Structure 1
Amino acid sequence: MDNKLLVENRECGEFTACCVELTIEDPDLVKLPGVKCKNLHKSGGCKIYNERPKTCRDWYCMWRFMPQLSNEWRPDLKGVMIKRVFNNIPPGYEGKIALNFEIIGKKSAIHDMDFFEVLGGYIVQGFPCFISTSKPRRAANMVLLNNKLLPLYETRNLELLKSTLSDALNHSAKQHSDLLSIKDGKVISKSSGLF
């Protein structure tokens, strides 16, 4: 997304989950998801911040672009990193921004009323929304939420919504995901040789 769309005066601060959670495949740095970047100080912050790779300079989670989200939605505080999704968008959602609500903290974050409202707002507006959780060195397994949750938002069935959301997150956690590794400066799946 265009950096001109970043929310004014909103900064990441000492937040460093990107330095752990992201897959980075840059000519200057290759890193697996869920693994701390080799340039991350033990006390936080980047050892090479001023010379960090282009991927690190250009990537922002969606919290940085969404003015409707409060500061409490900063990923380290909420335990949820909202990422824009570009691949595997299901038919019928063409032209919409797809969002993945990746749980990076406690799973209980999905039962927060604020989480329900924000997620529901995007689902009701027709944005494809996914949920995921991941394990170190494995790609996140995203589960599409729209079809299951839209009727529950429309009927305001909070208990069934909580249960269905928990089931989706558990499904993401239990899905088999190939172990990733780095070979010749590329992130590859050990089973297929491709990421």
Structure 2
Amino acid sequence: MTPLPGRSCDGCTTCCSVPAIEAAGFSKPPSVACAHCTGSGCAIYDLRPAPCRAFECGWQVLPIIPEALKPDRSGVLVVADEAAPPGYASATAIKFIFITDASIASLPLLECIAGLVHARAAVFAAAPGPAGHHSLKTLLNPRIEHAVEQRDAAGIALTLASIVAKLRDGPFERAS
């Protein structure tokens, strides 16, 4: 997908540390900064591995993700998840990876998640594991649907904060 107008990385390197990267001759475990990350970009950008070239930041490509959720400012990385559970509007789910709690109760985040849940998109919350461990995720929809129907932003925020806190407790699976 093509990035939305005005949505460039511009110094954001969140995708250089959160996901695992596996490619021929290159391996980076999850929750570990890539050796090629300069802190403001990629030292081998023109030669970066195929998974890096294919990575799509939800903030860059999905119009429903608000400007305020740029990963380096919000502490939230939004990505498409591999598959939605049966019964949702799309075969692809949206995953919000909470790197920090900086935006967990922000109105732009809550409105975005509520809009997706209301539209019957499968929405996951995830917390990255410690260095070298996979993140944990859980489906948000059944836990916040009532609050979304009631337009209860405070209820959504409390439930989301509780879910993310529990995810952060693990247990996390070590990456191989």
| Superposition TM-score, scaled by structure 2 size | 0.91
Question: CA RMSD of the aligned region, Å?
Answer: 1.7
Partner amino acid, structure 2, of 1:80: V
Query: Which residue number corresponds to residue 20 of structure 2?
Result: 23
Partner amino acid, structure 2, of 1:114: P
CA shift at 1:173, angstroms? 1.1
CA shift at 1:57, angstroms? 1.4
Alignment of 1:63-142 (within 5 A): 63-87=59-83, 89-93=84-88, 95-105=90-100, 107-135=101-129, 136-142=131-137
Stretch moving more, 130-139 or 94-103: 94-103
2:58, 2:65 within 8 Å by CA — same for their partners in 1?
A: no
CA shift at 1:119, angstroms? 0.5
CA shift at 1:102, angstroms? 0.4
SS of corresponding position for 2:163: helix
**Cα 1:129–1:18 shift into 2, 3 Å:** same
Please say if 1:6 is aligned against 2:3: yes
CA shift at 1:93, angstroms? 2.4
Supply the distance in 2 between the matched residues of 1:68 and 1:95 (Cα, whole angstroms): 15
Query: Which residue number corresponds to residue 167 of structure 2?
Result: 172
Supply the distance in 1 between the matched residues of 2:7 and 2:89 (Cα, whole angstroms): 30
2:128, 2:136 within 8 Å by CA — same for their partners in 1?
A: yes
Supply the distance in 2 between the matched residues of 1:49 and 1:131 (Cα, whole angstroms): 29
SS of corresponding position for 2:121: coil
Extract unaligned runs of 5+ from structure 1: 181-187, 189-195
Supply the distance in 1 between the matched residues of 2:48 and 2:119 (Cα, whole angstroms): 37
Supply the distance in 2 between the matched residues of 1:23 and 1:150 (Cα, whole angstroms): 31
1:143, 1:171 within 8 Å by CA — same for their partners in 2?
A: no
CA shift at 1:50, angstroms? 1.2
Q: Which of 58, 63, 72 matches 1:62?
A: 58
Query: Which residue number corresponds to residue 155 of structure 2?
Result: 160
Supply the distance in 2 between the matched residues of 1:67 and 1:159 (Cα, whole angstroms): 24
SS of corresponding position for 1:7: coil
CA shift at 1:168, angstroms? 1.0
Kindly name which structure, 1 or 2, has the bigger radius of gyration based on alpha carbons.
Answer: 1
CA shift at 1:94, angstroms? 6.5
Q: What count of residue pairs does the alignment treat as equivalent?
A: 175
Extract unaligned runs of 5+ from structure 2: none
Please say if 1:33 is aligned against 2:30: yes
Cα deviation, 1:77-132, whole Å, max 9, x if unaligned, reads 11111011014x32212734301100123x14110111110000000000000111
